[in-house]
Structure 1
Amino acid sequence: MAIRSISGSTLILAILAGFLTGCASHLEKEVQLAAKQPDQTDVCGQLNYVFDNSSNGFQAIRTQPDFQNKITLWKSTYQPLQAHCEIWQWANRYSFVCSKVLPDAQSARAIYDETNATIQQCVKPENVATRTEKLPDSNGQKTKGEKTEYLLNGQVRGSSQMVNTKGLFSDDWTVYVLISSPIPGNSKP
């Protein structure tokens, strides 16, 4: 019986050691990931970091999938500028999506304009074309908001949007920033 007790203890210790090794390994991976991320004050570095991760479906910064009907929402391990960011996946496409809810159109306009100015400052203009359009509301009026798209080699690879997300008792506006993965097999020179 003493032998069984010792081997039972040994088995428990082996399981605990394996569990702790797994935790240490997971912690080590998180530390390595954090070391590769840019400084939170380096806005262009943050933008380029996310864009660089877009080519492989943001594998380095996505975790914990939440499977919905036709889309999978991934938690992002990377949250630049205190915005709520997540990764949306449908078919073979991924988009890194950040959003910030603001109380009024004036605040949203300021953030939207600042976001677009920053993006244009951080990317090389010879590589990226932009187009801006008003977003129609349910009545077809161009009053719901505005969208700026960023095209790289003819593909829309990112956008910023300012959208009126008013509810029954609020007149909120939301600013979105999306960076998308390239369309597979559709690369233009």
Structure 2
Amino acid sequence: GLSLTGCAVQENLRSGTDDPCTSMKNIVADYPNGFAEFRRSGTNFKSVTIYRAREELIKGHCEVWAWGNGDSAYVCTVGAPNPEVAESRYEQAVEQVAGCLGQQWVPEERVRERNGAAAGMATVFRQQGERSPSVSVHRVEDRSRQSVYLYIGSPGRKL
């Protein structure tokens, strides 16, 4: 499953669902409905409402984001104490997502940029068909902070 574990001192990440692959497929399939089936209680912010996720691919770390224009995304975010742990979590997540989604999804790895400087990596999986979301795994370096996140949502949204 999407265990994404680091070293022993690490917070052990586990899936909040018995069958993460099936959950991921169901989440992807619910994209045209704005992940309505996966929304629990929500908090309103100015431009976005953030809902707790009903099925969490990474226990305690997933939310559904809904913007004012009807666009929404299923997002799981996990911090990492150092670049090595971030890298290993990122690689494991990419491998597991690829395994779940299967052959019809094509991965493309790209360098994330901020202000023209490299700021991590992202692997974006796309499938043919306009009702299909983009599924991506990101390793984000923000000054000294490291995080890894899984994004299922609109292909056009810049993260």
Shared fold (TM-score, shorter chain, > 0.5) = yes
Extract unaligned runs of 5+ from structure 1.
1-37, 184-189
1:157 is aligned to: 134
**SS of residue matched to 2:90:** helix
CA contact (8 A) 2:16 2:57 kept: no
Partners of 2:129 and 2:151 in 1: how far apart? 17
CA distance in 2, matches of 1:173, 1:63: 28
Q: Which residue of 2 aligns with 1:146?
A: 121
SS in 1 for 2:58: helix
**Distance in 2, Cα, partners of 1:61 & 1:87:** 7
Question: Aligned Cα RMSD in Å?
Answer: 2.3
User: Are the counterparts in 1 of residues 89 and 148 from structure 2 also a CA contact under 8 Å?
Assistant: yes
- The one-letter amino acid of 1:73's match is I
Q: Which residues of structure 2 form unaligned runs of 5+? A: 1-14
Question: Helix, strand or coil: the match of 1:81?
Answer: coil
**More strand as a share of residues:** 2
**What is aligned with 1:31?**
none
| Identical counterparts, % of pairs | 21
Aligned match of 1:87: 64
Task: Between the two structures, name the one with larger relative contact order (CA 8 Å, sep ≥ 6).
Answer: 2
Q: Is the 8 A contact 1:83 1:100 kept in 2?
A: no
Q: Select the residue among 158, 170, 175 that pairs with 2:148.
A: 175
Q: Indicate the structure with greater helix content.
A: 1
* Aligned counterpart, 1:53: 30
Q: In the alignment, which residue of structure 1 is the partner of 2:88?
A: 110
TM-score relative to the length of structure 1: 0.65
- In our comparison, the structure showing a higher alpha carbon Rg is 1
Query: How many matched pairs?
Result: 139
| Whole-Å separation in 1 of the counterparts to 2:16 and 2:82 | 30
Conserved 8 A contact 1:157-1:181: yes
Determine the C-alpha separation between the residues in 2 that align with 1:146 and 1:72. 27
1:89, 1:109 → 2: CA distance? 29
